[in-house]
């Protein structure tokens, strides 16, 4: 696709809001954003959209973006996740300098704000059980009921809250609630919980705290403490915005950040909820968070995606107020386009069938000069060994070909890429009738692949010289789920999401024959295997025993669909 398909980043509604604020001198024209992951899982492609927006806007408007870990739930969070998040944001190409913050760094300040709210009569300690609180919250059509503790005097609230902090009560005995309006049409405003008791060890603060702030309280105040000007989040927080504004106004902070919501990224054939991704990992349906089938940044990286292709994808998807599902074909298109420019070509045979050139000198051999990347002259050339015995792809031969099969068949001539024209004379079979070898002749006058007499062949095959081939493993991937929308499908059928996994999402091919230049490819090395797709050396790769993941095949379904106007 052309660049016309990528919207210019200046066009979306979030950038319009930021530009207008800068123009009117709001916050002195400063732009400060933040990316606020909760360290309870690995980042996924949806987070990449938020990262590109938060860091992108800061960059474009000469401001900065904080990396803030929203670590207010000690039970689910872990340093492993903190480390992976930092690695992934950096890999995507964004820097936060020394602005690495943690909501847990603000626990003392947040606590002081809470005491302040109590003093102002804007918060109270409630001692209802969770069930009682749920029952008195009301519904969308009926107002909630005031808690019997709503009228507690300030002094009693302060005393109880301090004793909550001091660890005098067990989990669930009390909570701190905002005193707003139990009849509000917005349920989020019906005296939401601000603090709960949790006797749990936190990955950063250890056992210093046994009360933890809720997201809806910690988030706006963390934004205010950091001087964030534009707090960008996904649509599900739209109904929480009045509470966001309430917290900031009530605490009376100097800075008044503003929240703006945008549609979250949805991709077909996968899930994006961290809870569900964690389930896939924990139950062993995938090999880890970085399994190349996962929509995680680390999975995409291991699969062979480039940061550039992911950023390009996010730019093309754009930012809007309305949710829609993006075809994973667009993501694949972006990486294909990027790798086409930069990945060197090589030859590998995944399902080898031996070819013997009967008229080629025994013990002879030669090297073919081969262009590394036709899209990039600077990539130079390499020498690829050629000899009497070769491997081609088993499905490039048919003994009894149908009409439209133009590749190798008995009596037929085809081109071996960058080498010679060969003609199949005989298919040798074993006792079971399986073809084990092709006996072919080559035309020495066609070196380089063209016949001096101008005769044409209908197919060009890739090949690897048997004598110098390196045995390797290749992993081919398909969609993780066999249905387009696993989330809604599992709900509709009332089944667990894992029953919708694609049973053939991974095919491991051992005993592949790779050209010798690939023998020692380091992990992360990206290459196009001619005719087969783009591949990337896996971290499991070893010198002399390469392991490659297929990033994407060469067939661009998305571009074809778009060309047909679908």
Phi, psi for residue 535 in degrees, rounded to 5: -130, 160
Closest by alpha carbon to 94, among 421, 314, 380, 405?
314
Q: How many helices (H) and strands (E) does the chain have?
A: 14, 27
- For residue 435, the minimal CB distance to ligand ATP (Å) is 49
Q: Is the dihedral of CA 146, 147, 151, 155 positive or negative?
A: negative
Phi, psi for residue 284 in degrees, rounded to 5: 75, 20
- Whole-angstrom Cα distance, residue 57 to residue 51? 10
- For residue 6, the minimal CB distance to ligand ATP (Å) is 18
Question: Which residue, 38 or 489, has its beta carbon nearer to ligand ATP?
Answer: 38
Residues with catalytic annotation?
38, 264, 274
Q: Which residue do the tokens 């509470």 mark?
A: 243
Question: Which residue, 110 or 469, has its beta carbon nearer to ligand ATP?
Answer: 110
CB environment 314-350: b (16+ within 10 A), e (fewer): bbbbbbeeeeeebbbbbbbbbbbebbbeebbbbbbbb
Helix (H) or strand (E) holding 495: none
CB 414 within 8 A of CB 460: yes
For 510, the 3-state DSSP assignment is strand
Residue 355, token pair as written in the block:
């070819």
Residue 161, token pair as written in the block:
């809250």
- For residue 65, the minimal CB distance to ligand ATP (Å) is 12
- Whole-angstrom Cα distance, residue 30 to residue 51? 19
Angle between helical axes of 215-226 and 107-119 (0-180°, round to 10): 110
CB 323 within 8 A of CB 266: yes
- For residue 92, the minimal CB distance to ligand ATP (Å) is 13
DSSP 172: T
- Whole-angstrom Cα distance, residue 278 to residue 283? 8
- For residue 219, the minimal CB distance to ligand ATP (Å) is 9
Closest by alpha carbon to 147, among 176, 127, 123, 119?
127
Which residue has the closest beta carbon to ligand ATP? 46
Closest by alpha carbon to 274, among 291, 293, 296?
296
Rounded to the nearest 5 percent, the helix, strand and coil shares of the chain are 35, 25, 40
- For residue 57, the minimal CB distance to ligand ATP (Å) is 13
Question: Which residue, 36 or 144, has its beta carbon nearer to ligand ATP?
Answer: 36
DSSP calls for 91-155: HHT---TT-EEEGGGGHHHHHHHHHHHHHTTSEEEE---HHHHHHTS--SSS-----TTTT--HH
Question: Which residue, 46 or 344, has its beta carbon nearer to ligand ATP?
Answer: 46
- For residue 68, the minimal CB distance to ligand ATP (Å) is 10
- Residues of the shown chain interacting with ligand ATP in the complex, contacts defined by CB under 6 A: 36-38, 40, 46-47, 49-50, 233-234, 264-265, 272-274
For 344, the 3-state DSSP assignment is coil
- For residue 314, the minimal CB distance to ligand ATP (Å) is 9
Residue 461, token pair as written in the block:
């095959």
Question: Which residue, 46 or 192, has its beta carbon nearer to ligand ATP?
Answer: 46
Closest by alpha carbon to 525, among 293, 377, 344, 308?
344
How far is the CA of 168 from the CAs of 109, 145, 174, 203, in angstroms? 21, 28, 11, 22
- For residue 54, the minimal CB distance to ligand ATP (Å) is 8
- For residue 50, the minimal CB distance to ligand ATP (Å) is 4
């Amino acid at each position: 696709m052309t660049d016309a398909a990528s919207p210019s980043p200046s066009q979306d509604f979030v950038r319009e809001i930021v530009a207008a604020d800068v123009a009117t001198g709001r916050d002195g024209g400063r732009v400060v954003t933040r990316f606020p992951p909760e360290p309870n899982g690995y980042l996924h492609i949806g987070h990449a959209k938020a990262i590109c927006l938060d860091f992108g806007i800061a960059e474009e408007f000469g401001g900065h973006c904080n990396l803030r870990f929203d670590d207010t739930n000690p039970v689910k969070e872990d340093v492993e996740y903190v480390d992976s998040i930092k690695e992934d944001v950096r890999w995507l190409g964004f820097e936060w300098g020394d602005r690495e913050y943690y909501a847990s760094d603000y626990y003392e300040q947040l606590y002081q704000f809470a005491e302040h709210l109590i003093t102002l009569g804007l918060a109270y300690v409630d001692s209802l059980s969770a069930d009682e609180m749920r029952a008195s919250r009301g519904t969308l059509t009926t107002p909630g009921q005031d808690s019997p503790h709503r009228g507690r005097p300030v002094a009693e609230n302060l005393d109880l809250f301090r004793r909550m902090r001091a660890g005098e009560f067990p989990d669930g005995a009390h909570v701190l609630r905002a005193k707003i309006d139990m009849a509000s049409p917005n349920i989020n405003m019906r005296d939401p919980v601000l603090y709960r008791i949790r006797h749990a060890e936190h990955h950063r603060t250890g056992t210093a705290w046994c009360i933890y702030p809720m997201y809806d309280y910690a988030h706006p105040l963390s934004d205010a403490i950091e001087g964030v000007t534009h707090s960008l989040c996904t649509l599900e927080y739209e109904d929480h915005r009045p509470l966001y504004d309430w917290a900031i106004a009530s605490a009376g902070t100097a800075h008044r950040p503003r929240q703006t919501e945008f549609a979250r990224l949805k991709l077909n054939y996968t899930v994006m909820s961290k809870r569900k991704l964690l389930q896939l990992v924990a139950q062993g349906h995938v090999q880890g968070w970085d399994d190349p089938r996962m929509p995680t940044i680390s999975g995409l990286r291991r699969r062979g995606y480039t940061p550039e292709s992911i950023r390009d994808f996010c730019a093309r998807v754009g930012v809007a107020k309305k949710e829609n599902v993006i075809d994973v074909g667009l993501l694949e298109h972006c990486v294909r386009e990027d790798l086409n420019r930069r990945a060197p070509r090589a030859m590998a045979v995944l399902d080898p069938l031996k070819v013997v050139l009967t008229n080629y000198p025994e013990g002879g051999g030669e090297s073919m000069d081969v262009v590394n990347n036709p899209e990039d002259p600077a990539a130079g050339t390499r020498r690829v060994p050629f000899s009497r015995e070769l491997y081609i792809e088993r499905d490039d031969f048919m003994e009894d070909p149908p009409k439209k099969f133009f590749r190798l068949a008995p009596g037929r001539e085809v081109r071996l890429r960058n080498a010679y024209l060969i003609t199949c004379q005989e298919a040798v079979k074993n006792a079971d009738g399986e073809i084990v070898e092709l006996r072919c002749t080559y035309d020495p006058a066609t070196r380089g692949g063209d016949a001096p007499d101008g005769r044409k062949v209908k197919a060009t095959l890739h090949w690897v010289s048997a004598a110098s081939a390196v045995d390797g493993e290749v992993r081919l991937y398909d969609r993780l789920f066999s249905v387009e929308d696993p989330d809604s499908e599992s709900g509709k059928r009332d089944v667990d999401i894992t029953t919708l996994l694609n049973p053939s999402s991974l095919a491991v091919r051992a005993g592949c024959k790779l050209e010798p230049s690939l023998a020692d490819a380091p992990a992360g090395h990206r290459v196009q295997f001619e005719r087969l797709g783009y591949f990337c050396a896996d971290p499991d790769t070893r010198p002399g025993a390469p392991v490659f993941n297929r990033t994407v095949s060469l067939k661009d379904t998305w571009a074809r669909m778009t060309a047909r106007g679908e």
